[in-house]
Structure 1
Amino acid sequence: MIITKNAHFLTSAQHIAQAPSPQSSEIVFLGRSNVGKSSLLNLLLGKKLAKSSATPGKTQLINFFGVEFVCDEEVIPLVFVDLPGFGYAKVSKETKTKWEQYLLEFLQKRESIKLFIHLRDARHPHLPQDDAVLALLNGLKRGDQEILTIFTKADKLTQSELHTLKNTNSVLVSTQPPPKLQHKLYDVQALRALISQKIFGK
């Protein structure tokens, strides 16, 4: 069983030059705006630290959160990195281009990143935009990095849709699953264990 301790906000940065010095293995969370990224981050952190904007795509900063995973008295320090959501930002083309350049540079050059968590809306599992992001990650990831795709909002699926996705061994989650679905979805403990296994092989 993995519990969390000392979850806290570290800092925000617009680009890699403003990012804090790497101290621990970093886990990057990325996905379309309104995919439920902040809710999942808070669930994993065990504390409401990540804030979602009322206007999708408004936040353009990279946010860093420190947390400790504790398992059998072993303490593992980690940094969760919350990237801005993509897909709905109402900004100028010039601003959007610069923003995308900053994010790409961060993903390419930040050597402390060990895991990319790509969030996709379970109700729309085959969006071309999500496929493009996954292709990008596969193209830039190093040998010491892993990619984990998580489908959010699985409680919104029909039984048939849920069954279809589960048959692909997809990681399905909901931050507020009804009791009848809890045994079919990954809970916070299973997700923390999966993250640890992806990074450390245990």
Structure 2
Amino acid sequence: MRIVDASFMQSAQSISDSPGPDVAEIAFLGRSNVGKSSLLNTLTNRKGLAKSSSTPGKTQLINYFNIKFKTDEENGMPPDLFARFVDLPGFGYAKVSKSLKAEWNKNLTNYLEQRPNLQMFIHLIDARHPELEIDKNVDEFLEKIKRGDQLIVHAFTKTDKLKQNDLAKLKREYPEGIFISNLKKRGISDLQNKITGYLFGN
């Protein structure tokens, strides 16, 4: 199964102005500058689909993308399947007013806690800094709110910047992790297979 089409749907400030919860959603979240936009573009094979910013923390909206999958298997599954990727605001570096940041965090939390069709959390972590307190806090929060039908995936970005022995150590410490390099297109198919396997079955 593979992604055959991806398109921007809409941006929203909160659940109230988000699209209807009629399709399974996969949320991508991580620190600002972790490489989220680059990963979404590589994963969907659509350069420029997700806009990256030179200013960390600039994206303050929830961005929705329509994703179309195609299966070549003749096992009773429909030939085309659909889901939504959701690009969430990065955390950690935003230079915004305290009042805006409070509202932003509230809307983000409400989405993560209350969105009924949210099936997967893809937590992106910089492979060079896997033990940051802010990422640990996010993990604790996700584990606390996760429903039984939801899955948390740890995807480590920028692995091409690690020495081989450091990457091997990281893989030992996180045996369920996915290890990604946008530059070398490494780990992309692993992540796509993880998503399609969980949403649609293998």
Alignment coverage as a number of residue pairs: 194
Pairing 1:37-186 to 2, within 5 Å after superposition: 37-48=36-47, 49-72=49-72, 74-168=79-173, 169=175, 170-177=177-184, 185-186=186-187
Moved over 6 A (4+): none
CA distance in 1, matches of 2:190, 2:152: 17
The one-letter amino acid of 1:174's match is S
Quick check: 2:118–2:150 contact (8 Å CA) kept in 1? yes
Q: Which residue of 1 aligns with 2:189?
A: 189
Quick check: 1:146–1:199 contact (8 Å CA) kept in 2? no
TM-score by length of 1: 0.92
Residue 167 of structure 1: SS of its match in structure 2?
helix
Quick check: 2:11–2:64 contact (8 Å CA) kept in 1? yes
Aligned Cα RMSD in Å?
A: 1.3
Residue 10 of structure 2: SS of its match in structure 1?
strand
Query: CA-to-partner distance for each residue in 1:16-45, whole Å, 9 max, x for gaps?
Result: 101011231100000000000001111111
The one-letter amino acid of 1:200's match is F
CA distance in 2, matches of 1:143, 1:200: 17
Unpaired segments of 5 or more residues in structure 2? 74-78
Quick check: 2:5–2:44 contact (8 Å CA) kept in 1? no
Pairing 1:2-21 to 2, within 5 Å after superposition: 2-21=1-20
TM-score by length of 2: 0.92
Quick check: 2:178–2:190 contact (8 Å CA) kept in 1? no
Identity of aligned residues (%): 50
Deviation at 1:190, TM superposition (A): 2.3
Deviation at 1:15, TM superposition (A): 0.7
CA distance in 1, matches of 2:155, 2:134: 15
Unpaired segments of 5 or more residues in structure 1? none
The one-letter amino acid of 1:131's match is K
